Amino acid sequence: MRWSPGDRGNIEDRRGSSAARMGMPIGIGGFVLLLVLSWATGTDFLSLLNSGGQPTDSSAPAATSPQEERMADFVDAVANDVQNVWEQILGGRYERTRVVLFRDAAESACGFAQSATGPFYCPGDHRVYLDLGFFSELDRRFGAPGDFAQAYVIAHEFGHHVQNLSGTNQRVQRDRRTGENSASVALELQADCYAGVWGHAASRQGRFQAGGVELEPGDAEEGLQAASAVGDDRLQRMSTGHVAPERFTHGSSAQRVEWFRRGMESGDPARCDTFRAITQ
């Protein structure tokens, strides 16, 4: 990917703040394991993450490295480019927002979150939340290296922002089932397709400008690999050794690749109607 730093107007840096809560510190793999065990047994193992205390807030200057600052610039550049594309597509219906960078834990309008939850979008405050350490997990644990793999994750979360602005999230609020044909899976696959819509725009040659992004040969394959790496079937197999489609919330690896590719090839949000294709 070609990209250049901007003015960081698309990020909200909370890396120097903490919202600590006494509990059990675990990594992303541990979170996935607890999540699957909770689904399988009906016991809320996730409560172990937040047990034993109340949140506390503190602020201090963030100790960073040149590599981490470069990654913050990268997130800002991708967020800026993704939002520019959606402004072109939706016009005045699109509302710009920011990526909140945090470490370990953060308070959002959707509640308390830890790094173990991975990147997420909060409809309550229209913010994307990201601990930069997730990108190392994406590479080392999930086998999805490369800058466009990281950009795919960011673009996916902005896809949820587009869904929130359009009212699509309400479908999931009415239908909270899990499984292959659930509204939850349709929502996530549509966000994958929307990430591909941005990727299609970013692949156009000659569009590069300051604070922007342009894809290079091989980038699309990185995005497809990332989509495959975070499929429900693959994560379940990593955690428990077997696949339970009735527990799917994001879609299988094949589905995620299919819908991301559909957005990449078409560049048309109208081709992203996963609800018609998935839900029953």
Per-residue pLDDT of the chain (280 residues; tens, 9 = 90+): 999 988 999 999 999 876 644 344 444 444 444 444 444 444 444 444 444 444 444 455 567 899 999 999 999 999 999 999 999 999 999 999 999 999 988 899 988 878 888 899 999 999 999 999 999 989 988 888 889 999 999 999 999 999 999 999 887 877 777 788 889 999 999 999 999 999 999 988 667 766 678 888 888 899 999 999 999 999 999 989 999 989 998 999 999 999 999 999 999 999 999 999 987 5
Domain, as residue range, for 118: 2-13+67-278
Residue 164 has, within 13 A of its CA and on its CB side, a CA count of: 17
- As a whole number of angstroms, the distance between CA 7 and CA 126 comes to 20
Q: Can you give the pLDDT at residue 44?
A: 44
Q: What residue has token string 């308070």?
A: 107
Q: Can you give the pLDDT at residue 32?
A: 45
Q: Can you give the pLDDT at residue 280?
A: 58
Q: Can you give the pLDDT at residue 25?
A: 43
Q: Is 100 inside a domain boundary?
A: yes
Q: Is 58 inside a domain boundary?
A: no
Q: Is 52 inside a domain boundary?
A: no
Q: Is 78 inside a domain boundary?
A: yes
- As a whole number of angstroms, the distance between CA 86 and CA 98 comes to 14
Instruction: Indicate the DSSP class of residue 114.
Output: E
Q: Is 260 inside a domain boundary?
A: yes
- As a whole number of angstroms, the distance between CA 216 and CA 206 comes to 11
Which residue stretches of the chain are H helix? 28-41, 47-50, 66-90, 134-140, 147-166, 169-174, 183-202, 219-229, 232-240, 253-266, 274-278
- Strand 2-3 versus strand 213-214 pairing type: antiparallel
What pTM was estimated for this model as a whole? 0.84
Q: Among 99, 132, 104, which Cα is nearest to 116's?
A: 104
Q: Is 48 inside a domain boundary?
A: no
Q: Can you give the pLDDT at residue 218?
A: 87
CA distances from 270 to 5, 61, 68, 197, 273 (A): 31, 45, 37, 10, 6
Q: How many domains does the chain have?
A: 1
Q: Is 49 inside a domain boundary?
A: no
Q: Is 27 inside a domain boundary?
A: no
- 167's tokens: 């009212």
Q: In what helix (H) or strand (E) does residue 18 lie, and over which residues does it extend?
A: strand 17-20
